[in-house]
Structure 1
Amino acid sequence: MNLSMNLHVRQSQSLAMTPQLLQSIRLLQFHHVELLAFLQREAEGNPLLELVAPAEPAVPAPADRVPEPAAGDPSPLSGRQDDGAAFSDGTGLEGERHPDAAERLLDLAYAGPGGSGAEASSWEERLGDGLPSLHAHALREIADVFGSQDERRLAELWLADLDASGFLFADADLPPDLLPLLRRLQDEAEPAGLFARSLEECLAIQLRRRDRLDPVMTSVLANLPLLARRDFAALSRLTGESEAELVDILAEIRALDPRPGSAFSLDAPVAVVPDAVVTQDRAAPGGWQVALNPDAFPRLRIRLESVPAGSANGEERSFLAHCRQSAGWLQRSLEGRARTILKVADEIVKRQGAFLAHGGGHLRPMTLMDVAGAVGMHESTISRVTAGKYLATPRGTVEMKAFFSGAIAASDGGEAHSAESVKLRIRNLVAAESPGGVLSDDDIAARLQGDGVELARRTVAKYREALGIPSSVQRRREFKARRLAG
């Protein structure tokens, strides 16, 4: 075996993750509040930077694709982008249900192009004057209920344990001498249910004020999971009531308020600031125009007048040169971020014009890969751009991620359907049922196939459960119970 030393020259390329590149990636995924906080920190540490933030959020009437900065103001927006449930309020008996971005689109499905109802209200109308403070209201209620200063001070200690629903997260082992104090506060404070320690106790307080908390109601409240599943057979064995009577009890409980604190706010209301605004424009490609919202993009100004003329020593000059280089890089990063957001928003609107014009039933299937291929970016970049970013559309302000939906094949070989539009069809089919025509999952799958949607029965069941729709057996039982009760 011969051992020898040789010298070879090889040329290769690799991506170096420099601190500047890592920071650019972070900037891309920041939403408005995070970006503003980051720029404030940068301006504090760089004497050449001045942050010019909008006084308050507003949705502009876009007259251009990219808002122009004020005269003499360098801005990250300085360039143009020419190239490319059980209760009526939706809360379930087994806990709060927070709708995701996809459900938001279903909620907007019935609003027309100009909007209707709550979705048609203006930005200012939807913000309103803000909700009153929950803690301030609870403090007034304590003062009205208790005349003794000592009792008020004891009750005020519970204010820190109130959550956004008005529930009291107090220790389960509350001292016995404080239980009468809490019971009095629960019985007299408004709205009914405030200071309850659980959902069961909240509903019991409201029923007690209506003189409806009898042993049957108490037994039903102790078995809320059975009521949420509509297991009337098990409840009937526990309470001795008929299914028709249990349906009436369910209707009565549905009329209660499971979140008495929802009419108040723990903190000052925070408005969602859309990153881009979509308006109808017949002259634009596709009939829609996208413009960046200047209120979501704080402006930066480099104050060159802060640089001393010739009096700085070598160390100061080095520091100022670093600050100037950092400020220039930050401006270029913000410009790139703005262009990327606009480019992605343009592509989303181009693909989802039918939804903007006609509603949720016309949402097209779209994946991160589809948009990434169209705009020439990586999927991870599209994911960062759409996370926490919002579009203000004629159908409401919607998170960009909500427009992405899986594809379901068409039975006739035509264009695929989006999963969210299929969910909307399932919801409409169930809503149109009659007592003698309750649809099973197989029936729904057959109806959808007749409309050109190829969907298996098990997928129908999965979508139905995701929408919170009970099974056909449970729906048929409820129809029967209503008929007997009526």
Structure 2
Amino acid sequence: MKMGPRLDLRQSQSLVMTPQLQQAIRLLALSNLEIESFIAEELDKNPLLEMARDEQAPTADARDTDSGDLGEAAARDGFEGHEGIDGDLAPAEPQSADRLLEQGAEAGDAPLDVDFDSETFMHDSNADMGRGQDGGLSMEGGVSGVGGGDDGVDFDSFAGASLSLHDHLLMQAGQSLDEPVLSVARGLIDQIDEVGYFTGSVLEMSQRLDVPGVLVEQALAAVQGFDPAGVGARSLAECIAIQAREADRYDPAMARLIENLDLLAEGKLSQLKRICGVDDEDLGDMVRELRGYDPKPGLRFSAERTEAITPDIFVAKTKQGWAIELNSASLPRVLVNRSYYAELSRDAQDKTSKAWLSDCLTNANWLIKALDQRARTIVKVATEIVKQQEGFFLNGVEQLRPMTLRTVAEAVEMHESTISRVTSNKYLSCAHGIFELKYFFTSGIASADGGEAVSAETVKSHIRALIAAEDAKAILSDDSLVDLLHAKGFDLARRTVAKYRESLGLGSSVQRRRQKAISAKAG
């Protein structure tokens, strides 16, 4: 056989994940707030990208700036005139990522000029919608997407940094204590957790600071006198006792009750009456007093702020059907400044500068197309979810149907992984509240009469309602719940009912009977 170099022609197929395709896929899984952060990073890297201001809204006379308004373009190209699920029109078919890549490769430098009429910008957010005669949101322009604009005053931005528990305690120590107690108190405060409990020991602090144990006890007593009441306690009983002393309610009977909190938790009220030497009325007063104390006093100084959930999608019922729109308040409008590109092109002399400028323009156009594709896909998937779960949006959780990713994927002709990305970290706001899109995908429970399966969330709502309505003298066992649910048409095993009950944070029949007995005494 002759050995030597030679040339051969071979054909093969392979899937190549280009950076643009990876970016388009990654954007699908991001929430609106994450998209805003992503856009901010792109603005820093690409000089041709800029944020649109109200005065920069594109018009028929403004042709030098390309608009990346994420939803208005979607409305113009397919969603405008959308009559909802009950209407005849449907959203335009979103382009696949591969098709998006092909268009980007062919038209990387193609102008993206747009001509929006004034009505588009009159209705670019849920807040701008007028109220229809039926009380729903009026949508003359159909499904509106994401637009820029002034979102109003952000009052959260005026909030100062919250004072932490440690800073609050150190401030009080500096104002009320002197050396050497002050130094020991500072060491003790360092070992107080976020709940407000002292997690160390007097002996360890004495050895570590090389001070007498009596001094540590004195400093700890001083810290326990600080605000909030109960801070610096070493146990729940000590925390409650400190607050009882603060309220001048720490008498011998209350002291014995606090020493036997485990009996109270177990509902052994008769035994507690004997230990405390009180009657039913006095015990009820003492239990009510205990309920007014804070078992975790340090949490009110928690440094973590509670962040409100910002919905990504708004759903409202109108006369024409369902109106579905992206939240314009949380997504900025991105523009490609073509006049600036032309100016830089005139000054670019060498090939390196021209290549860099061309890449910037291509990437900017790509970003706008990817964001527009993301908006279209989210609206299309949300529309199908509303269609599949229309009973929920009309009547609440009891009408929630079992639904899988495959069901939606087949309806919108997308892959299940795409549906999973679209529904991740996205929230939908409707008349019944704010829900994560994943909430609408639930398993099915077989019907007792052989009818249509129901959602697990529907079953949980019935379990919650049955337990909430139970009589204190006739607590429902899991077997009783099975029988009641079977009468409602739900074919469930006892272990399934127990699992759903526990997932709702509801105790067993014994625990609920004990809790209701304590509540009756305290009431």
Compute the TM-score of the two structures, normalised by the length of structure 2.
0.67
Alignment of 1:377-416 (within 5 A): 377-416=414-453
Q: Which residue of 2 aligns with 1:22?
A: 22
Shift of 1:310: 2.9
Shift of 1:219: 3.9
Shift of 1:402: 1.9
Q: Which residue of 1 aligns with 2:402?
A: 365
C-alpha separation in 2, matches of 1:282 and 1:156: 65
C-alpha separation in 2, matches of 1:235 and 1:10: 89
Q: Which residue of 1 aligns with 2:218?
A: 180
Q: Which residue of 2 aligns with 1:79?
A: 74
Are 1:276 and 1:290, in contact at CA under 8 Å, matched by a contact in 2? Answer: yes
Change (3 A) 1:20 1:183: farther
C-alpha separation in 2, matches of 1:266 and 1:274: 24
Summarize deviations over 1:7-31 as a string: whole Å, max 9, x none: 9977554422222222222211112
C-alpha separation in 2, matches of 1:23 and 1:399: 23
Shift of 1:43: 1.3
Shift of 1:39: 1.6
Q: Counterpart amino acid of 1:366?
A: M
Number of aligned residue pairs? 421
C-alpha separation in 1, matches of 2:363 and 2:315: 34
Aligned with 2:332 (options 298, 316, 324): 298
Q: Which residue of 2 aligns with 1:167?
A: 196
Change (3 A) 1:310 1:479: closer
Are 2:241 and 2:255, in contact at CA under 8 Å, matched by a contact in 1? Answer: no
Is 1:419 paired with 2:456?
A: yes
Are 2:166 and 2:189, in contact at CA under 8 Å, matched by a contact in 1? Answer: yes
SS of equivalent to 1:206? helix
Aligned with 2:163 (options 135, 140, 146): 135
Q: Counterpart amino acid of 2:27?
A: L
Summarize deviations over 1:422-441 as a string: whole Å, max 9, x none: 11111211222224432221
SS of equivalent to 1:397? strand
SS of equivalent to 2:325? strand
Q: Counterpart amino acid of 2:338?
A: L
Alignment of 1:214-363 (within 5 A): 216-221=256-261, 231-232=266-267, 253-263=290-300, 266=303, 270-284=307-321, 288-307=322-341, 308-312=344-348, 313-363=350-400
SS of equivalent to 2:380? helix
Q: Which residue of 1 aligns with 2:121?
A: none
Q: Which residue of 1 aligns with 2:114?
A: none
Shift of 1:195: 5.5
Are 2:267 and 2:518, in contact at CA under 8 Å, matched by a contact in 1? Answer: no
C-alpha separation in 2, matches of 1:160 and 1:383: 45
Instruction: List runs of 5+ in structure 2 lacking aligned partners.
Output: 1-5, 60-64, 80-90, 94-134, 137-150, 207-212
Alignment of 1:70-219 (within 5 A): 70-71=58-59, 73-77=67-71, 78-80=73-75, 81=79, 82-84=91-93, 134-135=162-163, 139=167, 143=171, 146-148=175-177, 166-167=195-196, 173-175=204-206, 177=215, 180-190=218-228, 192-194=229-231, 202-210=239-247, 211-212=249-250, 216-219=256-259
C-alpha separation in 1, matches of 2:46 and 2:521: 75
Are 2:287 and 2:522, in contact at CA under 8 Å, matched by a contact in 1? Answer: no
Change (3 A) 1:273 1:256: same
Summarize deviations over 1:435-482 as a string: whole Å, max 9, x none: 443222111111111111111111111112222222223444556677
Shift of 1:248: 8.3
Determine which structure has more spread, i.e. the larger CA radius of gyration. 2
C-alpha separation in 1, matches of 2:189 and 2:365: 49
Shift of 1:306: 2.6
Change (3 A) 1:156 1:479: closer
Instruction: List runs of 5+ in structure 1 lacking aligned partners.
Output: 1-5, 55-67, 85-112, 115-122
Change (3 A) 1:161 1:328: farther
Change (3 A) 1:216 1:134: farther
SS of equivalent to 1:79? helix
Please give the root-mean-square deviation of Cα atoms over the aligned residues, in Å.
Answer: 4.3
SS of equivalent to 1:427? helix
Compute the TM-score of the two structures, normalised by the length of structure 1.
0.72
C-alpha separation in 1, matches of 2:237 and 2:159: 26
Q: Counterpart amino acid of 2:68?
A: P
Summarize deviations over 1:184-216 as a string: whole Å, max 9, x none: 2332303x3445566665444334434348554
Q: Counterpart amino acid of 2:330?
A: A
Are 1:278 and 1:393, in contact at CA under 8 Å, matched by a contact in 2? Answer: yes
SS of equivalent to 2:74? coil
Q: Counterpart amino acid of 2:429?
A: A
Change (3 A) 1:252 1:300: same
Change (3 A) 1:17 1:153: farther
